[in-house]
Amino acid sequence: MKKQSYHFLIGGILSLIIATGIGRFAYTPILPLMQKDLSFSDTVAGYIASSNYAGYLLGAVLASAIPLKKHRTVILRICLVISILTTAVMGLTYSHLLWYVLRFLSGVSSAFMLILASGIVLDKLAFLNRTNWSGLFYGGVGLGICLSSMFIPRLNRLFHWEGTWTGLAVVSAILAFFVWIWLDDHSNTAGNKTKLDIPAKVPPTNWLLWLIIAYGLEGLGYIVTGTFIVSIASSTFHKGATLVWMIVGLAAIPSCLIWSILAQNWGYIKSLVFAMVLQSFGMAMPAFWISKSSFIISALLFGATFMGITTLATTLGRLINPANSNRTIGILTAIYAIGQLIGPVLAGVISSFTHNFNNALIGASSVVLIGAGMLLNGIPFEKKARETVSKKNYEV
C-alpha cells in the first residue's frame, strides 16, 4: 500500500506539470519571444491568454456538472493527449485564430486534468489519512513552471519560439507515460474515503459561498501577474527575463507543502487570508518600485502564494463538503476560471491605453486584497471549532 501511494502521488504531480506547469503557464515566458518575432499587441496577447481561460472555465463547469466518478481515469488520459497535442501545434502555425482555438482546447483539458487528478489524489490521501500531503501534490505546478523555464531559453536558442512549443510537448509526452501507468482511480477507498475526514475544524457548508466568491476574485487578480510578469520584466531585464518566471516556479514548489503545514497549525482560513495579503503586496510592488530587485521579490511572493492559495482553497472546500469532492473542487475551479477569463483582457486593454502595466497591477492587487477581506468572517467559525476539538481532547 505504501509503495502504491507514492506512485499515485507522483503520477498526480506529473499530471499537474503537464496540464498546468506546461500546458497552461508556458505561454507566460514564451509570450515575449512570440511578440518580439511577430510584433502583436498586448491586447492580442490578452485575447490569446483569455481564450485559454475561457476553455478552462468551460472545462471546470463541465467537470463539476457531469458525473465523472466512474470514468475519471479514462477522461484524464484523453485530456493528457489533448494537452500534449495543443501544446505541440502552437509552434506550427502563425494564425491568431488558430492560436485562440488551440489555447481554448488546452484550457478545457487542463481544467479537467486538474479537477480529476485533484479528486483522485485527494480522495486517496484522505483514505490514507494523509490530507496534509496535498501540498506535495499541488507542488507539481511550481515544478512544471520551473522545468519549463529551464527548457524554454535553450529550446528558443536552438529552434526559436516555434520549436519551444514543440519541444515542451515532447517533454510532456515523456512525463505522460508515467501518469498513464501510475495515476488511476482503481482503489479500495470506496465507501471508506470519508471515514477519516475530520471536517470539525472548518466552517459549515453554507460558508462555502464566501470561499467561492473570494476564490473568484483571486482568479481575477492573480492572473494579471501570472500572464504578463515576464513581459513586464523584460523591459527591465532586457535579457534573461525568463529568470523571473523560474523564480516563480522555484518559490511555488515548496509553497504548497509549507502552506498546508501552516494550515494545520493556524487554520485554513487564517492561512488563506495571510497568503492572499502577501500575494497582493507582491503583485503591486513593480508598479511602485521598478528594478530587478522588485521583480525578484515580486516573483518570490507570487510564486510562494499562488499555488498555496489553490491548495488551501481546494483542500478547505473538500473538507467542508467531503461527500462530493469533485463537484466542490469543480465549482471553485469554475469561479476561479471566470476571474482568469476577465483578468488578462482587462489588463491588456488597460496597458495598451496607458502604455504600461502599473494601473493593471494595482487594480489586480486590490481585487485580491478585497477577496482576502471577504474571508475574515470565517475565522471565528474555525477558531470556535478548533477550541471545541481541543476541549474534547483535554477532557479525554
Instruction: Return the DSSP state at 54.
Output: H
Residue 202: CB partners within 8 Å, gap ≥ 6? 268, 316, 319, 320, 381, 382, 385
pLDDT along the chain (396 residues), means of 10: 67 93 88 86 83 88 77 91 95 92 95 88 81 82 87 89 94 95 70 45 75 94 84 72 84 89 88 95 88 87 91 84 72 86 82 80 94 90 63 48
**287 is a domain residue:** yes
The domain that holds 239 is classified in CATH as 1.20.1250.20
Residue 156: CB partners within 8 Å, gap ≥ 6? 33, 163, 164
**193 is a domain residue:** no
Residue 23: count other Cβ atoms within 10 Å of its Cβ: 30
State the Cα–Cα distance between residues 42 and 232, nearest whole angstrom: 11
State the Cα–Cα distance between residues 103 and 63, nearest whole angstrom: 18
**189 is a domain residue:** no
- Domain boundaries, position 364: 2-184+202-395
Q: Give the predicted TM-score (pTM) of the model.
A: 0.78
Chain-centroid distance, C-alpha 386: 29
Residue 8: CB partners within 8 Å, gap ≥ 6? 120, 121, 124, 182, 183, 184
Confidence (pLDDT) at 187 = 55
State the Cα–Cα distance between residues 277 and 379, nearest whole angstrom: 15
State the Cα–Cα distance between residues 36 and 261, nearest whole angstrom: 42
State the Cα–Cα distance between residues 249 and 237, nearest whole angstrom: 18
Confidence (pLDDT) at 292 = 81
Residue 380 corresponds to which cell in the numbers above? Answer: 471565528
Residue 108: CB partners within 8 Å, gap ≥ 6? 55, 56, 58, 59, 62, 79, 82
Confidence (pLDDT) at 197 = 45
Confidence (pLDDT) at 3 = 47
Length of the chain: 396
Confidence (pLDDT) at 196 = 43
- Domains: count for the chain: 1
The DSSP code sequence of 72-120 is HHHHHHHHHHHHHHHHHHGGG---HHHHHHHHHHHHHHHHHHHHHHHHH
Confidence (pLDDT) at 1 = 40
Torsion of CA 215, 25, 287, 368, to 10 degrees: 0
Find where cell 515566458 sits.
29
Confidence (pLDDT) at 55 = 92
State the Cα–Cα distance between residues 20 and 55, nearest whole angstrom: 13
Q: Which amino acid is at 140?
A: G
* Pure H helices in 355-378: 358-374
